[in-house]
Amino acid sequence: MSSADFMELLRLINGFQISQAIHVAATVGVADHLRDGPRTSEELASLTGTDAGALYRLLRALAAVGVFEEHDQRRFSLTPLGDCLRSDSETPAGPWASFIGRPYYWQSWGHLLHSVRTGENAFQDLNGETVWQYRQQHPEEGGIFDRAMAGNSRGAVEALIHAYDFSPFGHVADIGGGHGQTLAGILAAHPATRATLFDQLHVISKAQATLEKENLADRCHFIAGSFFDAVPAGADAYILRMIIHDWEDQEAIAILKNCRRAMAANAKLLLIEQVVGPPGEGAIIKFSDLNMMVSPGGARANARRICRPLRAIRLRAHTHHSSRPAHERGRSDSAMTPTAA
């Protein structure tokens, strides 16, 4: 091994330091205070309620990896990377950075060795409950997670609309629709389409706010419930975006069965999932798969594995692959049409 190889491996080993440092910068809101130009670490400390000396050391380290730029007299400004931490960024990474450093999430990754040795979920072994149950009991953590998911969905919604033609559908239902970004994008692109957003009660108000902001709420019906119980009937297309991978086959089949019961004979079910790429490619998705093992359960998989639960509910799969930049590739949009019962 050369010294360059050693240093590159060391950089990977110490990656946790960078992610935690970005988490802290995002949590205290540094980027928002740099929106209008450079500030000193002392000014930023006053604005963020932090210690000036400690904040300088944090920003200096992050400047060394390109998140901020350091100037003379301990002044800092945003780089293109750091700009993504702004709360009003068009490509917001701040909510995700705020989420990944939360103690319960951080501790689960620290328990990865248990998962590798046993095949068991790290979070459940540590806490005696699923991460979904934990967030229900800790709504502040649920809110942080919801904002992270909403932030990550912005670019994906544009890719979905380009990848799949929603114009034939007069009524689209988003099952587990979160804060409503997906439906907002679809409704904006197709003015004649109506929608139903289905999610848990505590999420619905956020979704209403999203669609009201875009003047689209009058074309959307908001329904609270659990997709393990039932889903609303009457739509021409049902969307499950980034849902199925979070669950083992038994739970995935239960969700899909409820969708199947709600669907008319000519309705479609759209599974939007990230699929694992070939060997040596797609690191983001493959590490996301490790995250499934550590925290929510389920798994990232290839298209064949994602479609496996469909056999239990008699749906026929047609796969559509979106066109995405090279660093984002791996998302597959699959439209499922019912076969005869």
DSSP 2: -
Task: Tell me whether residue 71 is one of the annotated catalytic residues.
Answer: no
Task: Give the domains, in start order, of the chain with CATH numbers.
Answer: 3-86 (1.10.10.10), 149-338 (3.40.50.150)
Residue of 162, 245, 320, 321 marked catalytic: 245
Residues 136-144: contacts with CB within 8 Å, 24+ apart?
A: 139/202, 141/102, 141/104, 142/202, 144/95, 144/98, 144/99, 144/102
In tens, the pLDDT along 218-236 reads: 999 999 999 999 999 999 9
Answer yes or no: is pLDDT of 1 > 80: no
Rounded-to-integer distance, Cα 60 and Cα 39, Å? 13
Average pLDDT, the chain: 88
Please report where in the chains the tokens 């239990």 appear, as a residue: 312
| pTM of the complete model | 0.75
Of 60, 52, 69, give the one whose Cα is nearest residue 21: 60
In tens, the pLDDT along 41-94 reads: 999 999 999 999 999 999 999 999 999 999 999 999 999 999 999 999 988 999
The CA-CA-CA angle for residues 13, 95, 239, to 5°, reads 105
Rounded-to-integer distance, Cα 124 and Cα 107, Å? 12
Contact 292, 304 (CB under 8 A): no
The pLDDT of 271-289, averaged and rounded, is 86
